[in-house]
Amino acid sequence: MASRDQLLPHKARLETSYAFSRTFNPRNLEILWYPLWCQTLFDLVADVPNLIVAPQFPVWITRQHDDELEDADDGDDLEEIKEIVREEQDAAAKTQVPGNEPEEGDYEVGAGDISFASTVPEKDAEGVLVDFAILSLGAVPQPKEKLRYGGWRITEANICLFVELKRFASRSMKDDELNAEILARVQEARSDLVNQAGYLFIKDETKNSVMAIAAAGPFWSGATIHRDDIKLTMHILSTDDPSYQPPGEEFVDEVPKWNKIIRLDGASSALASEARLRTVCKKMREMRD
């Protein structure tokens, strides 16, 4: 049997080939790059018990559903749990599932621009989702009667890393044209990450920094985004809140210090990617704010 270290590079190559495939990804969608990055992130924290990967992480919620919030002891009764399960099963049985037939225009030019994770909320949108987040959890053991919660009560959830993924450049591009398009798409992810970090800092006044990975297909770049460096972004995002009181001072953003764009699984860059990711993991272990 092959060792774990031998299996992972092979799996990464399969996931990369799958996303590049014109047969299985004819529209060049970013979502088919999720397997590669999901695998990479889960492997990155596999040996760290309190670091978890959260795909499609909601960094900002615009609508409040206070009437739907559970009480502290909601659902503790076993019969209540059974009743909830029965109700959910009944509701699911009544739900009509739409057909899975491809719609007209599935293969139109520009269809690959579709993104499945909204970075900035549109009007009436409920929130902002980040493609992936890695969280550091704190927990204390629970009494035996509450083992259905997994045996632990979560005491903290510190966001360590955001990952924003964009689709790869057109597969017909080469050389300088390709490099320029990769840079443009990574830059788009960088801009989204600054906004996402801004929402995070607005939501959590104790949070001073968050690490970030901006990716386009298998190409990526990283940085640490600091609260003090994006106060203008935070100010702009806050203006949508009617209760926001703008300060008298003027703000200017500082551009995060993004490192060089490299390929995650490239023959000449795989070792550099691995070393960089190990540094990211080390910093996440050490993060406390």
Predicted pLDDT of residue 143: 79
Predicted pLDDT of residue 152: 84
Predicted pLDDT of residue 209: 96
Phi and psi for 160 in degrees, rounded to 5? Answer: -100, -40
Going from the C-alpha of 276 to that of each of 14, 171, 226, 263, the distances in angstroms are 22, 27, 19, 11
Q: What is the pLDDT of residues 240-269, one digit of tens each?
A: 888 888 887 788 999 999 999 999 887 677
Handedness of CA 180, 186, 188, 191 (dihedral sign): negative
Phi and psi for 25 in degrees, rounded to 5? Answer: -135, 60
CA angle 25/114/222 to nearest 5° reads 85
Predicted pLDDT of residue 194: 97
In three-state secondary structure terms, 129 is strand
In three-state secondary structure terms, 193 is helix
Predicted pLDDT of residue 163: 98
Predicted pLDDT of residue 68: 53
Q: What is the pLDDT of residues 129-186, one digit of tens each?
A: 999 999 999 998 887 766 666 788 889 999 999 999 999 999 989 999 999 999 999 9
Length of the chain: 289
Rounded to two decimals, the pTM is: 0.77
List the single range of 118-122, 210-214, 235-239 with lowest mean pLDDT.
118-122
Name the CA radius of gyration of the chain, rounded.
Answer: 21
Q: How far apart are CA 144 and CA 219, in angstroms?
A: 46
